[in-house]
Amino acid sequence: MKLKCVAIDDEDHAIEVITDHISEMPGLYVYKTFTNPITALTEINVADQIDIIFMDIDMPSLNGIELAKSLRDKTKYLVFTTAHPDYALQAFDVQSDQYLLKPISFAKFALGIDRIIKKESEKVSTIATVDDSNTLFVKGDHKHAFANISINEILYIKSLQNYVKIVTSNDEIITYLTLKEVEKALEKHPFIRVNKSYIISKSSIKRVDGNIIKLINDENIQLGEGYKDAFLEYIQGILLKSSRGQ
């Protein structure tokens, strides 16, 4: 397991320090870097599935705190890297996971980020597929409760912030997982992410009308802009076409 990282800082030297530290950590890798916060705002989207954003605060054009308000739901973890200790309370308000003060030594970096890596490892262990079959086990509503779910019966999975709701043809299960963790567990099965909050079973699609996906249980789900290209590519790949006139 390696966590996908993005670094945002208007100083090239600061970017270099963070990317060097990331390369030294076996559980991380650099996905993208930005020296312009406006570019980061326009180019980062939910479909990137970023694990950690490292972000400076005192940047021109757009303050890091304000930028974080727009990007917080596009990353699992947010780490501020700044020379200013007086932003700590505002960082807490935008749900930052770490607040690292510059200059950032590798020891300081490793101590803070190791907590995130361990937290991720613990989360991954809360969901399991059984012998590559069509079954999932997830934690139930108390310590020793587990739910056995047939993957073939799942219609969709909906994000509920720190939880997900798994809706099957005859049941609903809420469990303490992120949507990304469930998506990872189902990557070998016929499911597709359609917006930042929903993964749906391909076999549960009844009809597509513009940006509205109707499922076989008659629920309507909005197709998100960041997921439209991949979804339409899937539809075109299985679309039955006439050869007449060719």
Length of the chain: 246
Supply the pLDDT for residue 19.
97
Residue type at position 205: I
Supply the pLDDT for residue 129.
53
Pick the CATH number of 127-238 from 2.60.40.1580, 2.40.50.1020, 2.40.30.10, 3.20.20.70: 2.40.50.1020
3-121: CATH number:
3.40.50.2300
Give dist(CA 179, CA 162) in Å, integer: 9
Supply the pLDDT for residue 16.
97
SS3 178: coil
Alpha helices for the chain (secondary structure H) = 12-24, 37-43, 64-71, 88-93, 106-124, 179-185, 228-238
Which tens digit of pLDDT belongs to each residue from 30-67? 999 999 999 999 999 888 889 999 999 999 989 999 99
221 contacts 189 by C-beta, under 8 angstroms: no
Supply the pLDDT for residue 115.
85
Give dist(CA 70, CA 80) in Å, integer: 15
Q: What is the mean pLDDT of each run of 10 residues along the chain (246 residues)?
A: 91 97 92 97 90 95 94 93 92 92 95 85 56 72 74 94 88 88 88 95 94 95 93 89 67
Where are the CATH 3.40.50.2300 domain residues in the chain? 3-121
Supply the pLDDT for residue 122.
65
Where are the CATH 2.40.50.1020 domain residues in the chain? 127-238
